[in-house]
Amino acid sequence: MNVTDKDFLEIKSKVSKIIDRLIVDEAPYLQKHNFSQTIDFLEQYRQEVKSAGLYTPQISKENGGLGLNLYQLGQLYEIFGQAFFGLYIFNCQAPDAGNMEILLEHGTSDQVEQFLNPLLEGKIRSCFSMTEPDNPGSNPTLMNTTAIKDGNDYIINGHKWFTSSADGASFAIVMAITDPSNSNPYLRASQFIVPTNTPGFQIVRNISVMGDEGDGWMSHAEVKYTHCRVPSSFLLGKEGQGFSIAQERLGPGRIHHCMRWIGISERAFHLMCQHATSRKINANQTLADQQITQSWIADSKVEINAARLLVLDAAKKIDHQGAKEAKIEISMIKFFVANVLQKVLDRAIQLHGALGMTDDTPLALWYRHERAARIYDGPDEVHKLRVAREILKQYS
Ligand SMILES: Cc1cc2nc3c(=O)[nH]c(=O)nc-3n(C[C@H](O)[C@H](O)[C@H](O)COP(=O)(O)OP(=O)(O)OC[C@H]3O[C@@H](n4cnc5c(N)ncnc54)[C@H](O)[C@@H]3O)c2cc1C
């Protein structure tokens, strides 16, 4: 059953109150920037969110979530995005939220019991392992990782990297080639659940990204799979469905990312306006009196509003017509919003001067973390090509 507008407004207001408090409370933890030292603090917030009946909002009511449509959920993601740990305390953070979707859609009852239920409860974390250092992630049909059937098991060998949040995760969903000679490259791969305590699963390192190795949920690992033996019951869906399952995960996932980025942009914009009006540059004037600042404020506002409308429009289309019909819209928002985010963060940092380079505001942390928005889930260029090709098809 749909959530009514009235009920949704109530949910939104409750979520906003929690996030407003989190923004203040998380500030000292952002300066330390150490996930393992933040877990207890986040756990207290998670308990509060659970008690308020707002946990895992992205999930259907039958499975313990709020049963929102994507248009409504997108609006919550914007609010979550304003705090660094916003998504985490509601248990709708990447990569777990995407893995929950896969398991809900394709998990067997054993997989649901062993992997999905503890994930929904927030008792464990997970990761998604597709990209490889030796192959272009933009064309994942080129992949060296293999899963070879051996009796009732599969044996997985491969080298992945940028497996986000692998550090401390209980299992990985791994993409591996099962049918290398299939004439359709999109039918060659399958997805497997690999518990991280499987012999042969090895985190080589947390990769230093923009000068930051991070830890736990806030890290990106290089991972080796050496002769990892998993039972065939850990295959997700059917053999050869790896790419179609991955594709399903990406549609709603891009709405989540884009609305989170809009939340970050709004917060950066707010900080920019606050600083502009309080920073005196001479006896009578603040930064806000300068035309160049006003231009940044106007440009940022209109870009953020345009981005929000585009994303909500895509969300509506997915709700009503499905992700396949909305593929152009999904690609458009992916590169458009990632670039708005980057421009707004950059202006906000510039306006803060040296303060913008410190971790006394969340701007620098976001800037380091979110430069990748233009790369992960498909780089800008790939999405632009897809949009242009689809449009040009109509002319040729
Ligand atoms: C912070 C972060 C987190 C990530 N998390 C995960 C994760 O959890 N799990 C996972 O599996 N992967 C993850 N990734 C990997 C991500 O999905 C890939 O980086 C992405 O798909 C691009 O692949 P690549 O890095 O191999 O770049 P390549 O494919 O080598 O492309 C390099 C560049 O070439 C250009 N390019 C590529 N193709 C084209 C084209 N057709 N036309 C024009 N230009 C092109 C683009 O500018 C692109 O940025 C993450 C990446 C980052 C940075």
Per-residue pLDDT of 95-116, as tens digits, reads 999 999 999 999 999 999 999 9
pLDDT of 311 above 90: yes
Q: How confident is the model at residue 1 (pLDDT cuts 50, 70, 90)?
A: low
The confidence score (pLDDT) of residue 8 equals 97
Provide mean pLDDT across the span 341-355: 98
150: CB partners within 8 A, 6+ apart: 229
What's the CA gap between 138 and 135, in Å, rounded?
Answer: 9
283 CB-contact burial (10 Å; exposed 0-12 / middle 13-18 / buried 19+): exposed
pLDDT tops 80 at residue 250: no
- For residue 162 and ligand 1, the question of a CB distance below 6 A is answered with yes
Nearest CA-CA partner of 260 in 331, 363, 338, 322: 338
Residue ID of nearest Cα to ligand 1 atom 19? 376
Cα separation of 207 and 190, whole Å? 26
pLDDT tens per residue, range 259-305: 999 999 999 999 999 999 999 999 999 999 999 999 999 999 999 99
138 C-alpha to ligand 1 centroid (Å): 5
- Is residue 229 over pLDDT 70? yes
For residues 89 and 46, is the Cβ–Cβ distance under 8 A? yes
pLDDT tens-digit map of 350-395? 999 999 999 999 999 999 999 999 999 999 999 999 999 999 999 9
Give residue 378 CA to ligand 1 midpoint distance, Å: 6
Q: How far is residue 207's CA from residue 220's CA, in Å, rounded to a whole number?
A: 6
Question: By percentage, how much of the chain surpasses pLDDT 90?
Answer: 96
Q: What is the pLDDT of residues 123-155, one digit of tens each?
A: 999 999 999 999 999 999 999 999 999 999 999
Task: Tell me the mean pLDDT in the region 159-188.
Answer: 98
Q: Which two tokens stand for residue 235?
A: 């295959």
CA–CA gap between residue 150 and residue 155 (Å, rounded): 7
What burial class does residue 48 get, using C-beta atoms within 10 Å of its C-beta: 0-12 exposed, 13-18 middle, 19+ buried?
Answer: middle
Question: From the CB of 385, is ligand 1 less than 6 Å away?
Answer: yes
137 CA distance to ligand 1 middle (Å): 5
Residue 33 pLDDT more than 90? no
Tokens 């920037």: give the residue: 33
Residues pairing with 150 in the sheet: 153
Which neighbouring-strand residues pair with 280? 286
Complete domains list, the chain, with CATH: 5-93+103-121 (1.10.540.10), 126-236 (2.40.110.10), 243-393 (1.20.140.10)
* pTM score of the predicted model: 0.96
What are the tokens at 200?
């042969």
For residue 130 and ligand 1, the question of a CB distance below 6 A is answered with yes
Residue 244 CA to ligand 1 center (angstroms) comes to: 19
Q: Residue 360 Cα, ligand 1 centroid: separation in angstroms?
A: 31
Confidence of residue 309 (pLDDT cuts 50, 70, 90): very high
Q: Binning pLDDT at 50, 70 and 90, where does residue 249 land?
A: confident
β-bridge partners, 154: 149, 230
Residue 90 has pLDDT above 90, yes or no: yes
- Are residues 247 and 98 in contact, defined by beta-carbon separation less than 8 angstroms? no
pLDDT of residue 154: 98
Q: Tell me the pairing of strands 235-236 and 189-195.
A: antiparallel
Position in ligand 1 atom list of the atom nearest CA 133:
26
Q: 71 alpha carbon to ligand 1 midpoint, in Å?
A: 27
Nearest to 189 by CA among 111, 127, 131: 131
- Token pair of 216 as six digits: 């736990």
Q: How far is the CA of 382 from the centre of ligand 1 (A)?
A: 10
Query: What is the rounded average pLDDT of the residues 230-246?
Result: 96
Choose which residue among 99, 127, 130, 131 to substitute to test ligand 1 binding: the one with the highest number of ligand atoms within 8 A of its C-beta: 131
Axis-axis angle for helices 327-352, 363-370 (nearest 10): 140
DSSP secondary structure string, 315-379? HHHHHHH-TTTTHHHHHHHHHHHHHHHHHHHHHHHHHHTHHHHSSSSSHHHHHHHHGGGGTTTS-
55 C-alpha vs ligand 1 centroid, how far in Å? 31
Distance 115 CA to ligand 1 centre (A): 28
- C-alpha span between 229 and 192 (Å, rounded): 11
| pLDDT at site 245 | 94
Nearest CA to ligand 1 atom 43: 381
Q: Where are the alpha helices (DSSP H) in 33-176?
A: 39-51, 70-81, 86-89, 96-106, 109-111, 117-121
Q: Which of 302, 305, 331, 329 is nearest to 317 (CA)?
A: 329
CB of residue 128 inside a 6 A radius of ligand 1: yes
Ligand 1 within 6 A of CB of 381:
yes
Atom of ligand 1 nearest to the CA of 164: 8
* Three-state secondary structure call for residue 242: helix
Query: Cα 114 to the chain's mean position, in Å?
Result: 24
Determine the residue of 375, 381, 385 to mutate for testing ligand 1's pocket, defined as the one with the most ligand atoms within 8 A of the Cβ atom.
375
Q: Quick check: CB of 131 below 6 Å from ligand 1?
A: yes
More reliable by pLDDT, 33 or 361: 361
For residue 274, the CA-to-ligand 1 centroid distance in Å is: 35
15 lines ligand 1 (CB under 6 A): no
Which residue shows structure tokens 């399958």?
190
pLDDT at res. 247: 85
For residues 270 and 12, give the distance between their C-alpha atoms in angstroms, rounded to a whole number.
19
